[in-house]
Amino acid sequence: MSTLMETPTPERTAGGTARRSFWSGRSELIMPVLVAGLATWLAYETATMTVLGTSVPGPQFFPTIVCVLLYAVAVVHAIQVLRTPRLPDPTDDAENADFSSDLLGDLAHASEKGRRRIAGQDPKATLPTDWKTYTDWKTVGLVVGGIALFILVLPVLGWVFSAAGLFWIVCKALGSKRPGFDIVVSLVFAAVIQLAFNAGLGLNLPSGFLEGLL
Amino acid sequence: MEQLTMLFEGFGAALTPMNLLWVFIGAILGTAVGVLPGLGSAMAVALLLPITFTLDPTAAFIMFAGVYFGGLFGDSTAGILLNTPGNSSAIASTFEGHRMAKDGRAAKALATAAVGAFVGGLIATTLVVFFAPTLVKMATAFGPAEYFALAVFAFLAISSVVSESVVKGVAALGIGLVLAMVGVDGPSGTVRYTLGLPQLFDGISIVVITVGLLALGEVLHIAGRIHRDPSATKIEPNGRARLDRKDFRRALPAWLRGTAFGVPFGIIPAGGSEVPTFLAYGTEKKLAKRRGDAEFGTVGSIKGVAAPEAAGNATAGTAMGALLALGLPTSATAAIMLAAFQQYGMQPGPLLFERSGDLVWTLLASLFIGLVVLVILNMQFAVLWAKMLYIPRHYLYAGITVLSMLGVYAISSATLDLWVVLAVGLLGFIMRRYQFPLAPVLIAVVLGPLAETELRRALTVSEGDPSILVSSPVTVILYSVLALALAVSALQHLRHRRERVAGGAGGDGSGPHGGEGRGPDAGPAGPSEGAVAEERESSRV
């Protein structure tokens, strides 16, 4: 227990060690930037919209409200992140942001430990030192790339081969250790879907170069 | 008792072999997505929507009914056995449920959960049968201002009152509203926010948004963590899930209390079953303390599982009533059900009972049938369901990725939809990464068009005078309750911030609610924890 307590919790005060740049713990700034970007696009589109009809309030009324709202939250959020940077915290892996853990903790009359569980915190977790980034971008990139590839080859290769390929890539990316066996699994999975849908529900999935054979 | 006649007719229509098959398929699918961690009924219905579009609406809705309740039946399995609840609706029953599992009573915990879900759902659905006509009558008196107030209530309750961070909740809401505005504006015919793409004139399908946020977003989130987070250890349930008479007698009052908490929350847009399940759990805990129940918090009390499970399904039951009669979705899952109705060209609300009365009563009847099928499936095969947790995670998420693509492609065989779903999936991923709530996006996408149309309609009638929005007693009550809820929530946030600051300074993080002290896992709070909590708090409003 005592060793656990000595595990350093990542410091989140600004200007910690020299190794850390200004951006450490502030990557969340991407969110207010995205939200402000969305608001700007919305404002531009709203201002240049070709309005049909003469009803008042027209189609620009509601978007204007949303636009103001988005700018406001982007500014407040940016200030929050700038004032208190947050480094990835292994003890706080809050999975569910839909609900306030304080609210649920109060409703459950939870103890401090219970509250931590509601919030998804694990005080025993530690941050391995060999990570350069919190998110495993390589795996995410493989999955996103796999999906993009699937969309590109779907019209050419048809459902069975494209879907089997996507299944296989995602398996591999998520750490499957039997790539050979996975080829069989993915082909069977994709083929069963094609058969079930074309035959059973009359839904046409592209057959690609196998056109006429299937 | 006109309702009973209608309901019996509904049973007549639902009890055909083909329809029973759909209930059965729905129940199996629902339980499966409930058992599997990270998936829920909302995502399952969204994926099924385009695929089932060739079915007739009655068959499709009968299946959705099974999925709708099934998700809440299955979600406690992973929580009880793995201590990692499949969905947030199962967190409350995990506390005592996992303790029971560790004590060797996993099968009993699973059975308590299944029967609890059955009791809660049954009572709530019965109430819906009797009170739906009253709700419909109420709703016919609603004008544009009232509907706008309902939408605002849902928006703010879900994005601000119950969510972890107000700023992130409102941002999520705004993103959802923007997504909802893409396409041709109904009242004026103006083309808005389509990037010049004619394929977007009809707007972005809610299926694309739901599948992207909940399915692909989850897959990408898992991809970002799977090689980094350790996996949980699993407890094997042994024997069949059954309850003897003594257990039954102990659990019954808890089931009923849980149901009483769940029922009202179905018609309040507070995001679904989380709040009532926690309320039910908290009440059982207080009662156990008063009675000196030594099982609670140590080896696990059957009541601590029974009450939240009943509350969860009771909420789902009355939420269906609010959806059908008022057209108001009170949770993300209900929002997808609303989208399902719209997909079939029907608009839930007062008119639905008139125009598609037979479908509504068949749906209500199949909710009852679904509950019976689900309780049998979950009692008899609890151990089998638990085996699903053995599916290797890479196969599971690869399968979900492919099914997401299938579901989205099935909407209109358009490649553009696939690119949009990938973009929304990335949005869902980054929102998860920075702990943004997703429920406000879905609620905004579904209720956004309604809010805009009703607001404009109200202002057109009043010739721009905004006082029309607060001109009726219903609107005044709704806004007052909302203001009260916001105030209470703000006070709560402030109080917790103060407590954390105090806890950090005083060096003990135990807080005033440390009443769980006799549990085996109630250790002394370490000096570092108060500081952690304080830091954490600073990130929210």
ipTM value: 0.84
Of residues B398 and A207, more confidently modeled: B398
**A contacts of B515 (beta carbons < 8 Å):** 109, 111
**A contacts of B233 (beta carbons < 8 Å):** none
Does position B406 have pLDDT exceeding 60, yes or no? yes
Interface contact A111-B514, CB threshold 8 A? yes
Mean pLDDT for B282-303 is 87
Residues B162 and B281 occupy one common structural domain: yes
Q: How many CB atoms lie within 10 A of CB A80?
A: 19
Cα B235 from chain centroid (whole Å):
26
Rounded Cα distance between A158 and A160, Å, is 6
Question: Which residues lie across from B191 on neighbouring strands?
Answer: B184
CA nearest neighbour of B444 among B162, B176, B160, B43: B176
Cβ-Cβ pairs closer than 8 A, A with B, add up to: 325
Residues A84 and A22 occupy one common structural domain: yes
pLDDT of residue B370: 93
Average pLDDT of chain A, as a whole number: 79
Identify the band that residue A139 occupies on the pLDDT scale cut at 50, 70 and 90.
very high
CB B207 within 8 A of CB B440: no
CA nearest neighbour of B43 among B176, B216, B215: B215
Identify the band that residue B391 occupies on the pLDDT scale cut at 50, 70 and 90.
confident
**B contacts of A186 (beta carbons < 8 Å):** 398
Mean pLDDT for B378-406 is 87
Does position B161 have pLDDT exceeding 80, yes or no? yes
Flag whether A185 is in a domain.
yes
| Nearest CB to B271 within list A99, A108, A204 | A99
Identify the band that residue B263 occupies on the pLDDT scale cut at 50, 70 and 90.
very high
Flag whether A123 is in a domain.
no
CB B166 within 8 A of CB B160: yes
Identify the band that residue B133 occupies on the pLDDT scale cut at 50, 70 and 90.
confident
Rounded Cα distance between B453 and B140, Å, is 17
Identify the band that residue A5 occupies on the pLDDT scale cut at 50, 70 and 90.
very low
Of residues B189 and B538, more confidently modeled: B189
Residues B104 and B184 occupy one common structural domain: yes
Flag whether B156 is in a domain.
yes
Flag whether A130 is in a domain.
no
Domain closes at, from A89, A116, A145: A89
Kindly report which listed range (A6-15, A163-172, B363-372) carries the lowest average pLDDT score. A6-15
Mean pLDDT for B439-448 is 90
Mean pLDDT for B45-73 is 85
CB A147 within 8 A of CB A113: no
pLDDT of residue A101: 74
**A contacts of B434 (beta carbons < 8 Å):** 28, 30-31
Residues B151 and B251 occupy one common structural domain: yes
Residues B123 and B234 occupy one common structural domain: yes
Kindly report which listed range (A94-98, B276-280, B409-413) carries the lowest average pLDDT score. A94-98
CA nearest neighbour of B79 among A176, A95, A51: A95
Flag whether B296 is in a domain.
yes
Interface contact A109-B539, CB threshold 8 A? no
pLDDT tens profile B455-466 = 999 999 888 888
Mean pLDDT for B191-216 is 90
Flag whether A118 is in a domain.
no
pLDDT of residue A66: 96
Residues B460 and B477 occupy one common structural domain: no
Flag whether A84 is in a domain.
yes
Does position B419 have pLDDT exceeding 90, yes or no? yes
Residues B288 and B333 occupy one common structural domain: yes
Identify the band that residue A132 occupies on the pLDDT scale cut at 50, 70 and 90.
low
- Residues spanned by the domain of A197: 137-210
pLDDT of residue B525: 36
Identify the band that residue A119 occupies on the pLDDT scale cut at 50, 70 and 90.
low
Mean pLDDT for A73-89 is 84
Residues B467 and B533 occupy one common structural domain: no
Kindly report which listed range (A102-106, A140-144, B124-128) carries the lowest average pLDDT score. A102-106
Residues B352 and B312 occupy one common structural domain: yes
Flag whether B368 is in a domain.
yes
Find the closest chain B residue to A138 by CA distance. Answer: B224
Residues A82 and A143 occupy one common structural domain: no
Average pLDDT of chain B, as a whole number: 84
Find the closest chain B residue to A159 by CA distance. Answer: B406
Domain closes at, from A54, A74, A89: A89
Residues B478 and B437 occupy one common structural domain: no
| Nearest CB to A56 within list B167, B177, B464 | B464
Find the closest chain B residue to A177 by CA distance. Answer: B394
Residues B390 and B365 occupy one common structural domain: yes
Q: Measured between CB atoms, does B227 come within 8 Å of chain A?
A: yes
Flag whether B234 is in a domain.
yes
C-alpha distance from B399 to closest chain A C-alpha (Å): 7
**B contacts of A80 (beta carbons < 8 Å):** 167, 539, 541
Identify the band that residue B257 occupies on the pLDDT scale cut at 50, 70 and 90.
very high
Domain closes at, from B409, B444, B471: B471
Q: How many CB atoms lie within 10 A of CB A65?
A: 15
Residues B423 and B440 occupy one common structural domain: yes
CB A46 within 8 A of CB A60: yes
pLDDT of residue B87: 77
Interface contact A98-B271, CB threshold 8 A? yes
pLDDT of residue A126: 60
pLDDT of residue A9: 40
Interface contact A31-B171, CB threshold 8 A? yes
Interface contact A70-B459, CB threshold 8 A? no
Provide the chain B residues 124-163 that lie in CB contact (below 8 A) with chain A: 158, 161-163
**A contacts of B220 (beta carbons < 8 Å):** 140, 143-144
- Residues spanned by the domain of B371: 2-471
Of residues A144 and A212, more confidently modeled: A144
Interface contact B192-A59, CB threshold 8 A? yes
Does position B450 have pLDDT exceeding 80, yes or no? yes
Residues B459 and B488 occupy one common structural domain: no
Q: Measured between CB atoms, does B282 come within 8 Å of chain A?
A: yes
The total of structural domains in chain B comes to 2
What is the 3-class SS of A57-89, one letter each residue?
A: CCCCHHHHHHHHHHHHHHHHHHHHHHHCCCCCC
